[in-house]
């Protein structure tokens, strides 16, 4: 029986909002590709998603005339980041004589036009902002764990419109890169699909994807070793395993910040609640297979 793993790579992991270092990006990319190869060699089909918060924010900042809407920039980053992942992954496959191909699927995701996320922007995009930018920019700005960042609308994903294409390509043994940046936010107006200016949370969309393809594993990779309590304090503690009940309780108590670990915890809860038999883990890039074995990261039990 084919095993499918949905592997979610954070946009902050690829391009940190606090740093412009390409060296870190290359290291994360290498670790993520190592994860994909490890999963393939262990017999998994791999569907990969990625974030785009820093990247879409940088494009928004560059484009001053407002010629393009935010949903179009999401579509652009899907191709841009997907291309980068494809080139790197295809090269490794060629070097190792692996038969797999890599396919990028620009993905539309259905949202509710009346979602409260449109009136209360919460999704951080772009780099950390300077004090002068905070004072002068005509944007929604929120304080994150890294510092002040621009925030945009982030409606809840309802349905992955292109799920049949994603499933078909995955069934052909291709590594499928899809739902980039949480997917292109789209509403349905009668028989018309219309893109809307927002950025869907990548982890929530990835969780919906894992449920939709009946995945055997859902792996969120991020820039920390696992789920921690008392994050940033002297009493900080990483957990190798957390029960679904414990995670729900911590989430309800507001333990996890809305702009960082909060959506990840919600995504893990969503996947494990929907399919208890699914292996659901969070770890750093490079530790995916070890996380599935329980020796790295955090397992949702």
Q: Quick one: which H or E segment has residue 280?
A: strand 279-283
**Residue 21, pLDDT score:** 55
d(CA 163, CA 109): 9
Strand order in the sheet with 141-143: 123-125, 148-152, 141-143
Q: Which of 53-57, 75-79, 149-153, 272-276 has the highest mean pLDDT?
A: 272-276
The phi, psi pair for 222, rounded to 5°, reads -150, 180
Selected catalytic residue, list 12, 53, 182, 259:
12
Selected catalytic residue, list 53, 202, 216, 286:
202
Closest listed residue to residue 204, CA positions, set 111, 290, 127: 111
**Residue 16, pLDDT score:** 57
Cβ atoms of 241 and 301 within 8 Å: the answer is yes
- The number of beta carbons lying within 10 Å of the beta carbon of residue 287 is 23
- Domains present along the chain, CATH in parentheses: 3-300 (3.40.1160.10)
Q: Is 11 a catalytic site residue? A: yes
Asked whether the whole model's pTM tops 0.95, one would answer no
Q: Is 202 a catalytic site residue? A: yes
- The number of beta carbons lying within 10 Å of the beta carbon of residue 255 is 17
CA 70 to chain centre: 17
**Residue 243, pLDDT score:** 97
pLDDT per position as a tens digit, 120-136? 888 877 778 788 877 87
d(CA 245, CA 148): 33
The phi, psi pair for 118, rounded to 5°, reads -75, -25
**Quick check: 13 pLDDT over 80?**
no
Selected catalytic residue, list 10, 11, 181, 297:
11
Q: Is 12 a catalytic site residue? A: yes
Selected catalytic residue, list 51, 53, 123, 216:
123
Give the mean pLDDT of the chain.
90
d(CA 34, CA 51): 18
Average pLDDT over residues 195-199: 92
pLDDT confidence band for 15 (50 / 70 / 90):
low
pLDDT per position as a tens digit, 160-183? 999 999 999 999 999 999 999 999
**Residue 294, pLDDT score:** 96
Selected catalytic residue, list 183, 216, 264, 286:
264
**Residue 17, pLDDT score:** 54
Q: Angle at Cα 111 formed by Cα 151 and Cα 209, nearest 5°?
A: 95
């Amino acid at each position: 029986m084919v095993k499918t793993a949905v592997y979610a790579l954070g946009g902050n992991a690829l391009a940190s909002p606090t740093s412009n270092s390409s060296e870190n990006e290359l290291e994360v990319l290498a670790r993520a590709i190592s994860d994909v190869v490890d999963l393939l060699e262990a017999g998994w089909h791999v569907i990969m998603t990625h974030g785009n918060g820093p990247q879409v924010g940088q494009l928004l900042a560059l484009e001053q005339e407002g010629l393009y809407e935010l949903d179009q920039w999401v579509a652009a980053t899907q191709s841009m980041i997907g291309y980068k992942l494809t080139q790197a992954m295809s090269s490794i496959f060629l070097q190792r004589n692996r038969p797999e191909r890599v396919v990028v699927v620009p993905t539309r995701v259905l949202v509710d036009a009346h979602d409260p996320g449109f009136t209360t922007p919460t999704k951080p995009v772009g780099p950390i902002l300077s004090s002068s930018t905070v004072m002068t920019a005509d944007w929604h700005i929120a304080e994150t764990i890294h510092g002040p960042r621009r925030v945009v609308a982030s409606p809840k994903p309802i349905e992955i419109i292109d799920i049949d294409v994603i499933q078909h390509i995955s069934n052909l043994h291709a590594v499928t890169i899809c739902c980039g940046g949480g997917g292109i936010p789209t509403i349905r107006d009668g028989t018309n699909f219309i893109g809307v200016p927002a950025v869907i949370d990548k982890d929530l969309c990835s969780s919906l994807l894992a449920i939709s393809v009946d995945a055997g594993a859902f792996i969120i990779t991020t820039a920390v070793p696992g789920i921690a309590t008392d994050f940033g304090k002297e009493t900080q503690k990483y957990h190798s395993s957390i029960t679904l009940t414990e995670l729900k309780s911590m989430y309800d108590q507001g333990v996890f910040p809305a702009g960082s670990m909060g959506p990840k915890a919600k995504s893990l809860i969503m996947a494990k609640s929907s399919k208890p038999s699914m292996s659901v883990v969070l770890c750093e890039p490079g530790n995916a297979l070890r996380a599935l074995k329980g020796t790295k990261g955090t397992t949702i039990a």
